[in-house]
Chain A
Amino acid sequence: MNDQLDLKSTEKASFKLAAYADGINDLNLGLILVLLGFFPLTRSAFGPSFNSLFFILALSGISIALMQVRKRLTPSRIGLVKFGPSSRKRLKVALLITTFTLAFTAILWGMAGQNYFISSPSWLSSYGIDIFFALVILGIFGTMAYSLNVGRYYLYGVLFSAAMILQALTPEGTYEGIPMLSAGVIITAIGAYLLFRFLKDFPALDESQEVN
Protein backbone atom coordinates (compact mmCIF):
# COMPACT_ATOMS: atom_id res chain seq x y z
CA MET A 1 0.00 0.00 0.00
CA ASN A 2 1.29 3.48 -0.76
CA ASP A 3 2.33 5.47 2.26
CA GLN A 4 1.85 8.81 0.58
CA LEU A 5 -1.12 10.25 -1.21
CA ASP A 6 0.90 11.20 -4.25
CA LEU A 7 -1.21 10.96 -7.38
CA LYS A 8 1.67 11.34 -9.84
CA SER A 9 3.57 8.47 -8.22
CA THR A 10 0.39 6.40 -8.20
CA GLU A 11 -0.09 7.01 -11.92
CA LYS A 12 3.56 6.17 -12.60
CA ALA A 13 3.26 2.97 -10.56
CA SER A 14 0.22 1.95 -12.62
CA PHE A 15 2.00 2.66 -15.88
CA LYS A 16 5.17 0.92 -14.76
CA LEU A 17 3.24 -2.18 -13.76
CA ALA A 18 1.18 -2.22 -16.96
CA ALA A 19 4.03 -1.55 -19.40
CA TYR A 20 7.31 -2.71 -17.87
CA ALA A 21 6.72 -5.45 -15.30
CA ASP A 22 6.69 -8.35 -17.76
CA GLY A 23 10.03 -7.57 -19.46
CA ILE A 24 8.47 -7.84 -22.93
CA ASN A 25 9.56 -4.32 -23.91
CA ASP A 26 13.11 -5.17 -22.81
CA LEU A 27 13.06 -8.37 -24.86
CA ASN A 28 11.74 -6.45 -27.85
CA LEU A 29 14.48 -3.82 -27.60
CA GLY A 30 17.18 -6.43 -27.02
CA LEU A 31 16.14 -8.51 -30.02
CA ILE A 32 15.99 -5.40 -32.23
CA LEU A 33 19.59 -4.63 -31.26
CA VAL A 34 20.59 -8.25 -31.91
CA LEU A 35 19.00 -7.89 -35.34
CA LEU A 36 20.90 -4.62 -35.88
CA GLY A 37 24.07 -6.46 -34.89
CA PHE A 38 23.48 -8.98 -37.65
CA PHE A 39 22.63 -6.20 -40.11
CA PRO A 40 26.14 -5.94 -41.67
CA LEU A 41 26.31 -9.73 -42.07
CA THR A 42 22.89 -10.04 -43.70
CA ARG A 43 23.67 -7.02 -45.90
CA SER A 44 26.65 -8.81 -47.39
CA ALA A 45 24.57 -11.98 -47.76
CA PHE A 46 21.35 -10.52 -49.22
CA GLY A 47 22.49 -7.20 -50.70
CA PRO A 48 21.19 -3.80 -49.52
CA SER A 49 17.62 -3.99 -50.91
CA PHE A 50 16.81 -7.52 -49.76
CA ASN A 51 18.53 -6.83 -46.48
CA SER A 52 16.17 -3.92 -45.75
CA LEU A 53 13.21 -6.14 -46.62
CA PHE A 54 14.59 -8.91 -44.41
CA PHE A 55 15.17 -6.42 -41.61
CA ILE A 56 11.61 -5.04 -41.79
CA LEU A 57 10.11 -8.55 -41.93
CA ALA A 58 12.25 -9.80 -39.04
CA LEU A 59 11.45 -6.69 -36.98
CA SER A 60 7.71 -7.09 -37.61
CA GLY A 61 7.95 -10.80 -36.82
CA ILE A 62 9.68 -10.19 -33.49
CA SER A 63 7.22 -7.46 -32.48
CA ILE A 64 4.14 -9.51 -33.46
CA ALA A 65 5.46 -12.61 -31.66
CA LEU A 66 6.20 -10.65 -28.49
CA MET A 67 2.79 -8.93 -28.64
CA GLN A 68 1.20 -12.38 -28.77
CA VAL A 69 3.30 -13.52 -25.80
CA ARG A 70 2.17 -10.43 -23.86
CA LYS A 71 -1.47 -10.98 -24.85
CA ARG A 72 -1.35 -14.57 -23.57
CA LEU A 73 0.66 -14.03 -20.39
CA THR A 74 0.14 -10.55 -19.04
CA PRO A 75 -3.60 -9.75 -18.65
CA SER A 76 -4.32 -12.82 -16.51
CA ARG A 77 -1.39 -11.94 -14.22
CA ILE A 78 -1.43 -8.18 -13.80
CA GLY A 79 -4.85 -7.33 -15.20
CA LEU A 80 -5.97 -4.65 -17.59
CA VAL A 81 -5.91 -0.90 -17.17
CA LYS A 82 -7.03 1.94 -19.37
CA PHE A 83 -5.34 5.28 -18.87
CA GLY A 84 -7.27 8.53 -19.00
CA PRO A 85 -7.25 11.11 -21.81
CA SER A 86 -4.59 13.29 -20.14
CA SER A 87 -2.14 10.37 -19.80
CA ARG A 88 -2.78 9.30 -23.39
CA LYS A 89 -2.24 12.89 -24.55
CA ARG A 90 1.12 13.07 -22.71
CA LEU A 91 2.14 9.76 -24.28
CA LYS A 92 1.16 10.99 -27.76
CA VAL A 93 3.20 14.20 -27.27
CA ALA A 94 6.21 12.14 -26.12
CA LEU A 95 5.87 9.83 -29.14
CA LEU A 96 5.53 12.81 -31.48
CA ILE A 97 8.69 14.45 -30.09
CA THR A 98 10.60 11.14 -30.34
CA THR A 99 9.41 10.53 -33.91
CA PHE A 100 10.30 14.10 -34.90
CA THR A 101 13.76 13.82 -33.32
CA LEU A 102 14.44 10.47 -35.00
CA ALA A 103 13.16 11.73 -38.37
CA PHE A 104 15.35 14.84 -38.05
CA THR A 105 18.34 12.67 -37.22
CA ALA A 106 17.61 10.36 -40.14
CA ILE A 107 17.48 13.36 -42.50
CA LEU A 108 20.82 14.60 -41.12
CA TRP A 109 22.22 11.11 -41.54
CA GLY A 110 21.02 11.03 -45.13
CA MET A 111 22.52 14.47 -45.81
CA ALA A 112 25.83 13.33 -44.35
CA GLY A 113 25.70 10.34 -46.69
CA GLN A 114 25.33 12.76 -49.58
CA ASN A 115 28.41 14.71 -48.37
CA TYR A 116 26.43 17.81 -47.38
CA PHE A 117 28.85 18.36 -44.52
CA ILE A 118 31.94 18.31 -46.75
CA SER A 119 33.37 21.47 -45.14
CA SER A 120 32.96 20.10 -41.62
CA PRO A 121 35.97 18.72 -39.71
CA SER A 122 36.81 15.19 -40.80
CA TRP A 123 35.75 13.56 -37.51
CA LEU A 124 32.43 15.41 -37.69
CA SER A 125 31.69 14.41 -41.27
CA SER A 126 32.75 10.85 -40.46
CA TYR A 127 31.19 10.31 -37.04
CA GLY A 128 29.18 13.48 -36.29
CA ILE A 129 25.83 11.96 -37.17
CA ASP A 130 26.58 8.77 -35.26
CA ILE A 131 27.54 10.81 -32.20
CA PHE A 132 24.44 12.97 -32.58
CA PHE A 133 22.23 9.89 -32.99
CA ALA A 134 23.88 8.26 -29.96
CA LEU A 135 23.18 11.39 -27.90
CA VAL A 136 19.55 11.37 -29.07
CA ILE A 137 19.23 7.72 -28.02
CA LEU A 138 20.84 8.52 -24.68
CA GLY A 139 18.44 11.45 -24.21
CA ILE A 140 15.35 9.38 -25.06
CA PHE A 141 16.28 6.49 -22.78
CA GLY A 142 17.42 8.85 -20.01
CA THR A 143 14.11 10.71 -20.16
CA MET A 144 12.17 7.44 -20.09
CA ALA A 145 14.23 6.15 -17.17
CA TYR A 146 13.80 9.37 -15.19
CA SER A 147 10.15 10.09 -15.92
CA LEU A 148 8.95 6.51 -15.45
CA ASN A 149 11.40 5.69 -12.67
CA VAL A 150 12.68 2.63 -14.58
CA GLY A 151 16.40 2.69 -13.71
CA ARG A 152 17.50 0.01 -16.17
CA TYR A 153 16.65 2.32 -19.09
CA TYR A 154 19.73 4.41 -18.21
CA LEU A 155 21.81 1.28 -18.80
CA TYR A 156 19.99 0.55 -22.07
CA GLY A 157 20.62 4.10 -23.27
CA VAL A 158 24.33 3.82 -22.48
CA LEU A 159 24.61 0.35 -24.09
CA PHE A 160 22.70 1.34 -27.22
CA SER A 161 24.54 4.63 -27.79
CA ALA A 162 27.97 3.15 -26.98
CA ALA A 163 27.28 0.29 -29.40
CA MET A 164 26.29 2.82 -32.05
CA ILE A 165 29.52 4.78 -31.69
CA LEU A 166 31.68 1.64 -31.53
CA GLN A 167 29.94 0.30 -34.63
CA ALA A 168 30.72 3.54 -36.46
CA LEU A 169 34.36 3.40 -35.35
CA THR A 170 34.81 -0.23 -36.43
CA PRO A 171 35.94 -0.49 -40.06
CA GLU A 172 33.46 -2.16 -42.40
CA GLY A 173 33.86 -5.89 -42.78
CA THR A 174 35.68 -6.25 -39.45
CA TYR A 175 32.95 -7.45 -37.11
CA GLU A 176 31.30 -4.04 -36.95
CA GLY A 177 28.06 -5.67 -35.75
CA ILE A 178 29.67 -7.08 -32.58
CA PRO A 179 29.06 -4.02 -30.30
CA MET A 180 25.36 -3.84 -31.22
CA LEU A 181 25.04 -7.62 -30.94
CA SER A 182 26.64 -7.55 -27.48
CA ALA A 183 24.35 -4.73 -26.32
CA GLY A 184 21.38 -6.64 -27.71
CA VAL A 185 22.36 -9.88 -26.00
CA ILE A 186 22.76 -8.10 -22.63
CA ILE A 187 19.37 -6.36 -22.92
CA THR A 188 17.69 -9.58 -24.13
CA ALA A 189 19.16 -11.44 -21.16
CA ILE A 190 17.80 -8.77 -18.78
CA GLY A 191 14.41 -9.00 -20.52
CA ALA A 192 14.40 -12.80 -20.24
CA TYR A 193 15.26 -12.56 -16.52
CA LEU A 194 12.47 -10.00 -15.98
CA LEU A 195 9.99 -12.22 -17.82
CA PHE A 196 11.05 -15.20 -15.70
CA ARG A 197 10.71 -13.15 -12.51
CA PHE A 198 7.36 -11.80 -13.67
CA LEU A 199 6.02 -15.33 -14.26
CA LYS A 200 7.23 -16.32 -10.80
CA ASP A 201 5.99 -13.23 -8.92
CA PHE A 202 2.67 -12.78 -10.69
CA PRO A 203 0.74 -16.04 -10.89
CA ALA A 204 -2.27 -16.15 -13.20
CA LEU A 205 -5.34 -15.01 -11.28
CA ASP A 206 -8.91 -16.04 -11.83
CA GLU A 207 -11.33 -13.53 -10.40
CA SER A 208 -14.35 -15.81 -10.67
CA GLN A 209 -12.76 -18.50 -8.48
CA GLU A 210 -11.39 -16.07 -5.91
CA VAL A 211 -14.13 -13.49 -5.39
CA ASN A 212 -17.15 -15.79 -5.31
Chain B
Amino acid sequence: MTEEMKVPNPTADNPFSGLDPLIHAPARLNIITNLYVVESADFIFLRNLTGLTWGNLSAHVSKLQEAGYLEVEKSIVNKKTHSVARMTGAGREAFDAYKQKMMEVLDK
Protein backbone atom coordinates (compact mmCIF):
# COMPACT_ATOMS: atom_id res chain seq x y z
CA MET B 1 0.00 0.00 0.00
CA THR B 2 1.48 3.30 -1.00
CA GLU B 3 1.01 6.16 1.34
CA GLU B 4 -0.17 9.26 -0.45
CA MET B 5 2.25 12.03 0.19
CA LYS B 6 0.66 15.21 1.49
CA VAL B 7 1.95 18.21 -0.36
CA PRO B 8 1.72 21.32 1.82
CA ASN B 9 -0.24 24.18 0.32
CA PRO B 10 1.51 27.33 1.53
CA THR B 11 -1.45 29.60 0.83
CA ALA B 12 -4.05 27.44 2.53
CA ASP B 13 -1.84 26.57 5.51
CA ASN B 14 -0.68 30.09 6.18
CA PRO B 15 -3.04 31.62 8.74
CA PHE B 16 -1.97 35.10 7.67
CA SER B 17 -2.97 34.55 4.06
CA GLY B 18 -6.45 35.98 4.68
CA LEU B 19 -5.06 39.28 5.90
CA ASP B 20 -5.41 42.25 3.59
CA PRO B 21 -1.89 42.64 2.13
CA LEU B 22 -2.49 46.32 1.49
CA ILE B 23 -2.87 46.93 5.22
CA HIS B 24 -0.53 44.22 6.48
CA ALA B 25 2.69 45.87 5.23
CA PRO B 26 4.32 47.48 8.33
CA ALA B 27 4.63 50.99 6.90
CA ARG B 28 1.04 51.05 5.64
CA LEU B 29 -0.23 49.50 8.86
CA ASN B 30 1.54 52.28 10.72
CA ILE B 31 -0.07 54.96 8.54
CA ILE B 32 -3.53 53.43 8.65
CA THR B 33 -3.45 52.83 12.44
CA ASN B 34 -2.51 56.46 13.04
CA LEU B 35 -5.25 57.70 10.72
CA TYR B 36 -7.85 55.31 12.16
CA VAL B 37 -7.77 57.04 15.57
CA VAL B 38 -8.16 60.57 14.20
CA GLU B 39 -10.48 62.28 11.75
CA SER B 40 -7.69 63.62 9.54
CA ALA B 41 -4.00 64.45 9.68
CA ASP B 42 -1.65 66.25 7.36
CA PHE B 43 1.50 64.70 5.92
CA ILE B 44 3.78 66.50 8.38
CA PHE B 45 1.90 65.04 11.34
CA LEU B 46 1.90 61.57 9.77
CA ARG B 47 5.61 61.82 9.05
CA ASN B 48 6.33 62.72 12.67
CA LEU B 49 4.18 59.91 14.03
CA THR B 50 5.28 57.16 11.65
CA GLY B 51 8.94 58.09 11.31
CA LEU B 52 8.76 57.34 7.57
CA THR B 53 10.69 59.32 4.99
CA TRP B 54 8.73 61.68 2.74
CA GLY B 55 9.22 59.35 -0.22
CA ASN B 56 8.01 56.27 1.66
CA LEU B 57 5.09 58.10 3.19
CA SER B 58 3.99 59.47 -0.16
CA ALA B 59 4.32 56.11 -1.91
CA HIS B 60 2.39 54.16 0.74
CA VAL B 61 -0.33 56.81 1.02
CA SER B 62 -0.73 56.68 -2.77
CA LYS B 63 -1.19 52.89 -2.64
CA LEU B 64 -3.81 53.19 0.09
CA GLN B 65 -5.46 55.99 -1.84
CA GLU B 66 -5.60 53.88 -5.03
CA ALA B 67 -7.26 51.11 -3.02
CA GLY B 68 -9.90 53.58 -1.85
CA TYR B 69 -8.85 53.29 1.81
CA LEU B 70 -7.67 56.88 2.11
CA GLU B 71 -8.56 60.16 0.54
CA VAL B 72 -6.05 62.97 0.26
CA GLU B 73 -6.96 66.61 -0.05
CA LYS B 74 -4.23 68.84 -1.45
CA SER B 75 -4.26 72.59 -1.06
CA ILE B 76 -1.85 75.49 -1.20
CA VAL B 77 -1.21 77.22 2.12
CA ASN B 78 1.23 80.15 2.15
CA LYS B 79 2.44 79.13 -1.32
CA LYS B 80 3.25 75.63 -0.06
CA THR B 81 1.58 72.30 -0.79
CA HIS B 82 -0.44 71.02 2.13
CA SER B 83 -1.85 67.49 1.99
CA VAL B 84 -4.41 66.21 4.45
CA ALA B 85 -5.21 62.49 4.58
CA ARG B 86 -8.28 60.86 6.04
CA MET B 87 -9.62 57.32 6.05
CA THR B 88 -12.63 56.56 3.93
CA GLY B 89 -15.56 54.40 5.10
CA ALA B 90 -14.16 51.55 2.99
CA GLY B 91 -10.77 52.03 4.66
CA ARG B 92 -12.28 51.85 8.13
CA GLU B 93 -14.26 48.72 7.21
CA ALA B 94 -11.13 47.12 5.76
CA PHE B 95 -9.13 47.94 8.88
CA ASP B 96 -11.90 46.60 11.15
CA ALA B 97 -11.90 43.38 9.11
CA TYR B 98 -8.11 43.26 9.32
CA LYS B 99 -8.20 43.66 13.12
CA GLN B 100 -10.85 40.95 13.40
CA LYS B 101 -8.90 38.56 11.21
CA MET B 102 -5.64 39.29 13.04
CA MET B 103 -7.28 38.58 16.41
CA GLU B 104 -8.72 35.32 15.07
CA VAL B 105 -5.30 34.27 13.80
CA LEU B 106 -3.55 35.14 17.06
CA ASP B 107 -6.20 33.46 19.20
CA LYS B 108 -5.89 30.14 17.30
What is the interface of chain A, defined by CB distance below 8 A to chain B?
Answer: 1-2, 5, 7, 10-11, 13-14, 17-18, 75-85, 87, 202, 205-208, 210-212
Contact = CB atoms under 8 A, between A and B. Distances in A.
A81 B45 contact: yes
Contacts of A13: 49
Contact of B38 (A76, A81, A202): A81
Contacts of B81: 207-208, 211-212
Contact of A206 (B33, B37, B80): B80
Contact of B42 (A10, A80, A83, A210): A80
B94 to A, nearest CB: 15
Given A11-B38, A80-B84, A207 B54 contact: yes
9 contacts: A2-B30, A78-B44, A79-B46, A79-B47, A81-B41, A207-B54, A208-B81, A211-B57, A212-B81
Contacts of B99: 5
B98 to A, nearest CB: 10
Interface residues of B, number: 32
B39 A84 contact: yes
B51 A79 contact: no
A83 B44 CA distance: 16
B50 interface: yes
Given A1-B50, A14-B38, A80-B44, 4 more contacts: A1-B30, A10-B37, A13-B49, A14-B49
Given A202-B48, A208-B81, A82 B36 contact: no
Chain B contact residues, majority secondary structure: helix
B38 A211 contact: no
B63 interface: no
Interface string B65-104: 0000000000000001111100000000000000100100
Nearest to B36: A7
Nearest to A201: B48
Contacts of B26: 1
B40 A1 contact: no
B30 A81 contact: no
Contact of A82 (B39, B57, B58, B80): B39
Given A17-B49, A79-B48, A80-B84, A211 B43 contact: yes
A205 B30 CA distance: 20
